[in-house]
Amino acid sequence: MASRDLLYRLRLFRLVVILLFAILLGNLFYMTVPQNRHYKDQALENRQIRFRVRAPRGKILDRTGELLADNMFIADITLPVSCLEGDVPDSTLVLLMDWFDLDAGETLDRLRAQRDAERNRLVLVTNAPLGQITAVEERRRQLPGARVETRPRRRYHNKGLFAHVIGYVGEVGQEEIGPPGRAGEYRSGDMIGKQGIERAFEADLRGVSGVKLEEVNASGHIVGRQAVWVDEVVPGRDVQLTLSLELQDAMADILAGQTAGGVAMSCRTGEILAAFSSPTFDTNLMTTSITPEQWQGLVNDPAKPFFNRILQATYPPASLYKVVSSLAALDKGVVGKASRLEPCYGGWQLGDRYFRCWKPSGHGDVDHADALVHSCDTFYYQVGLRLDIDELAAAARSFGLGAPCSGIFPEEVRGLVPDSAWYDEHYGSKGWSRGVLLNNAIGQGELLVTPLQMAVLAARLGSLGTVPAPTFVVGQEDVATLSPLPFSIQDLQWVRSTLGEVVSRGTGKAAGLADVPVAGKTGTAQNPHGEDHAWFMCFAPAGDPEVALAIILENAGHGGSEAAPLAGRWLRTYFDGARPGASPALPLEANRQVLP
């Protein structure tokens, strides 16, 4: 036996073994001591998942505290992004597509789109039915990664009753999220106010989403007993409208079946009490997955339910505008309260053009008051001729026409009050004549107003200019600036009392109430495309008005016969007990403290 040889091999073998074990031990030490922190963090990262928790959106209440919009909870079935590793569905996804009978191609496309939008979890089923939720919860072990997640969803009570005021929420678009990597406060899948109060008060209603850490096991199921909140959820603030559910209901009731808009406003506080656009649509459809048929139905409806006939639709003010013409003429001293101009024989000849009065047989010899009471166009043609176009426009603007007056809705339109500069710009300085004054004086021509503007006009006239700017929300801070009316109090009082006569003995008789004196003005807007639009604006009680109202019925015909009776019906409801208390209202600051 060559024992020296053997000893050599023993030593070499032993050396190799000790060397190998030294490497193993050295590496173990390196991992467990200098790198311990790193691996501990990784272990923590392994089992801790950050969850972003959406804040519940603030509720929307009517002036009496009636709930108009709040949140319900729906459940989504979600999967981790890794369920599509390399575009191949993992076993969980394959199982769920099979159990829920989902079309593989369509589902995978949908999930891929979500993944590309950098979502951290993919939504397989939105608003999952109970059966699917139970299936996932009961078979968790077969479905690593799958989770049922609840999230708040907007719910509008009263369906479409407040559609054009409250608006609706929808999923945020890419422009609101911001570019990848530099995302703002919104994340894909969040809801954002798209229209109306929901959009105008987004910052208040939204609240602040929170972040919590949950401990999960390897399958992604939550196993930790308690979540750690990194950022607490701040719920959205509630918003209380100045509108009343009951008065809004009454407004919807009188406008039902019409293509119409109606706005009611307090003459004392400026609060909007009702504002309805007909036809309307169920805003709940907008927060869910509206079916293509439903969407096409709404979009293609000739009555255009999405169109906001409170503050987006504009019409010629027609005879309602005679109030403005009268006040401008009185103010400039070109026509007196008792003035009699040339009698009305059914129209007025100016140059080679004959301007008709609405009453073909004519009003005969009328004074200023009678002209307003019976809405004599011939009289106002002559008033117009005595005025300068810029004087008339200034009078209209002093009432707030030609400018947005809600203070909060970006979708509101201005309307149009043409003046000489406007005519110069559009027709050239030689391209128009004083003839435009004839049309302007009776509220036709290029003049355009919204129903909201006419309600404000009625309220300001009724309150002799004392009513504050209109508000839709209790404690609303952003309001339109209304300049004081430039007319003498006597002139205003005269016009106001004359409007009382419009209802007591003139064109607005149909709006009269037995027990409450009503003052108002009818209008019939000429419509080159079809039947005329019927206008009516009013306030009551006539001597010391509480409430003002303006309604327009598209293609309905005469204001006096069509719109006035509806206004009367609404006022009836108002004075029969639906009239709101003085002011609901905590100012918004106090509101903020009361509602978390």
Partner 1 sequence: MRWLALAFPPGDRWIFAAWLLLCLASLAVLWSVTEPISGPYEGQEAGVAKGIFWRQVVWVALSFVALSLAARIRMRALENLSLPALLVMLLLLAAILVLGPKIGGSRRWFLLGPIRMQPAEFAKISFILAMAHLLGRAGEDRKSLTATTATFFLMVLHMVLVMREPDLGTSLVFLAAWIGMVFWYGIPGILLVGAGSAAASSVMMFISESVLDGQPWPWGVYILLLIGVLYLVRISIPAKVTLLAVNLATGLGIPFFWAKLHGYQQERILTFFDPSRDKFGSGYQAIQSKVAIGSGGLFGTQYLQGTQKGLAFLPERHTDFIFSVVGEELGFLGASAILALFLVIILRGLEIAAGARRPFWRYLAVGVVSYFTFHVVVNVAITTGLLPVTGLPLPLLSYGGSNLLTSSILLGILLNVSSRSFDT
CA atoms 288, 292, 293, 295: torsion sign? positive
Which residues ranging from 315 to 344 are in contact with partner 1 (CB under 8 A)? Answer: none
Judged by beta carbon, residue 221 or residue 592, the one nearer partner 1 is: 221
Judged by beta carbon, residue 17 or residue 203, the one nearer partner 1 is: 17
Find the binder of partner 1 among 150, 217, 349, 429 (CB under 8 A). Answer: 217
Q: Does position 6 bind partner 1 by CB under 8 A?
A: yes
The DSSP code for 72 is: E
The DSSP code for 240 is: E
**Smallest separation (angstroms) from partner 1 to the CB of 10:** 4
Amino acid symbol at 178: G
**Smallest separation (angstroms) from partner 1 to the CB of 44:** 8
Cβ–Cβ under 8 Å, residues 559 and 507 = yes
Q: How many CA atoms does the CB half-sphere of 196 hold within 13 Å? A: 27
Q: Does position 354 bind partner 1 by CB under 8 A?
A: no
Amino acid symbol at 3: S
**Smallest separation (angstroms) from partner 1 to the CB of 283:** 41
Q: Does position 4 bind partner 1 by CB under 8 A?
A: no
Beta-sheet strands, E only, within 497-580: 519-525, 533-540, 547-553
Find the binder of partner 1 among 215, 249, 388, 391 (CB under 8 A). Answer: 215
Find the binder of partner 1 among 36, 349, 429, 466 (CB under 8 A). Answer: 36
Q: Does position 176 bind partner 1 by CB under 8 A?
A: no
Q: Does position 7 bind partner 1 by CB under 8 A?
A: yes
Task: State residue 469 phi and psi, 5-degree precision.
Answer: -60, 150
Stretch that binds partner 1, among 32-40, 185-193, 198-206, 406-414 (CB under 8 A): 32-40
Q: Does position 27 bind partner 1 by CB under 8 A?
A: yes
Closest by CA to 533, choosing from 376, 314, 355, 254, is 314
Q: Does position 228 bind partner 1 by CB under 8 A?
A: no
Q: Does position 134 bind partner 1 by CB under 8 A?
A: no
Stretch that binds partner 1, among 17-25, 157-165, 460-468, 499-507 (CB under 8 A): 17-25
Structure tokens at 481: 């600036």
Stretch that binds partner 1, among 5-13, 362-370, 426-434, 494-502 (CB under 8 A): 5-13
Judged by beta carbon, residue 24 or residue 183, the one nearer partner 1 is: 24
Q: What is the dihedral angle through the alpha carbons of 448, 451, 456, 459, rounded to the nearest 10 degrees?
A: 120
**Smallest separation (angstroms) from partner 1 to the CB of 30:** 9
Structure tokens at 419: 């003046």
Q: Does position 183 bind partner 1 by CB under 8 A?
A: no
Cβ–Cβ under 8 Å, residues 460 and 486 = no
**Smallest separation (angstroms) from partner 1 to the CB of 596:** 30
Stretch that binds partner 1, among 182-190, 216-224, 296-304, 468-476 (CB under 8 A): 216-224
Structure tokens at 107: 């589902």
Judged by beta carbon, residue 36 or residue 294, the one nearer partner 1 is: 36
Task: State residue 358 phi and psi, 5-degree precision.
Answer: -60, -25
Stretch that binds partner 1, among 170-178, 219-227, 290-298, 534-542 (CB under 8 A): 219-227
Stretch that binds partner 1, among 20-28, 320-328, 352-360, 412-420 (CB under 8 A): 20-28
Find the binder of partner 1 among 219, 339, 420, 526 (CB under 8 A). Answer: 219
Beta-sheet strands, E only, within 267-377: 272-278, 347-350, 353-356
Stretch that binds partner 1, among 220-228, 406-414, 427-435, 554-562 (CB under 8 A): 220-228
Q: Does position 256 bind partner 1 by CB under 8 A?
A: no
Q: How far apart are CA 508 and CA 493, in angstroms?
A: 19
Q: What is the dihedral angle through the alpha carbons of 148, 154, 160, 164, rounded to the nearest 10 degrees?
A: -140
Stretch that binds partner 1, among 221-229, 302-310, 317-325, 494-502 (CB under 8 A): 221-229
Judged by beta carbon, residue 2 or residue 130, the one nearer partner 1 is: 2
86: left (phi over 0), alpha (psi -120 to 50) or beta: left
Burial of 117 (0-12, 13-18, 19+ CB in 10 A): middle
Judged by beta carbon, residue 83 or residue 482, the one nearer partner 1 is: 83
Stretch that binds partner 1, among 107-115, 191-199, 223-231, 253-261 (CB under 8 A): 223-231
**Smallest separation (angstroms) from partner 1 to the CB of 106:** 25
Closest by CA to 317, choosing from 410, 212, 456, 431, is 456
Q: How far apart are CA 533 and CA 524, in angstroms?
A: 6
Cβ–Cβ under 8 Å, residues 257 and 488 = no
Q: Does position 489 bind partner 1 by CB under 8 A?
A: no
CA atoms 538, 540, 545, 546: torsion sign? negative
Query: How many Cβ atoms are within 10 Å of 59's Cβ, its own excluded?
Result: 19
Q: How far apart are CA 152 and CA 190, in angstroms?
A: 10
Q: How far apart are CA 123 and CA 77, in angstroms?
A: 6
**Smallest separation (angstroms) from partner 1 to the CB of 229:** 16
Cβ–Cβ under 8 Å, residues 485 and 544 = no
Judged by beta carbon, residue 4 or residue 529, the one nearer partner 1 is: 4
Find the binder of partner 1 among 20, 72, 94, 208 (CB under 8 A). Answer: 20
Judged by beta carbon, residue 225 or residue 529, the one nearer partner 1 is: 225
> Residue 70 pairs with which residues in a beta bridge?
155
- Cα 277 to Cα 169, 318, 366, distances in angstroms: 19, 20, 37
User: Residues of 302-338 as b/e, b for ≥16 C-beta within 10 angstroms?
Assistant: eeebbebbbbbbbbbbbbbbbbbbbbbbbbeebbeee
Binding map of partner 1 across residues 40-59, x = CB under 8 A, - = no contact: x-xx--xx------------
Which residues ranging from 78 to 117 are in contact with partner 1 (CB under 8 A)? Answer: 82, 85
**Smallest separation (angstroms) from partner 1 to the CB of 7:** 7
**Smallest separation (angstroms) from partner 1 to the CB of 110:** 22
C-alpha angle 405-553-313 in degrees, rounded to nearest 5:
35
Q: Does position 25 bind partner 1 by CB under 8 A?
A: yes
Residues lying near partner 1 in the complex (CB under 8 A) are found at 2, 5-7, 9-10, 13-14, 17, 20-21, 23-25, 27-29, 31-33, 35-36, 38-40, 42-43, 46-47, 82, 85, 215-219, 223-226
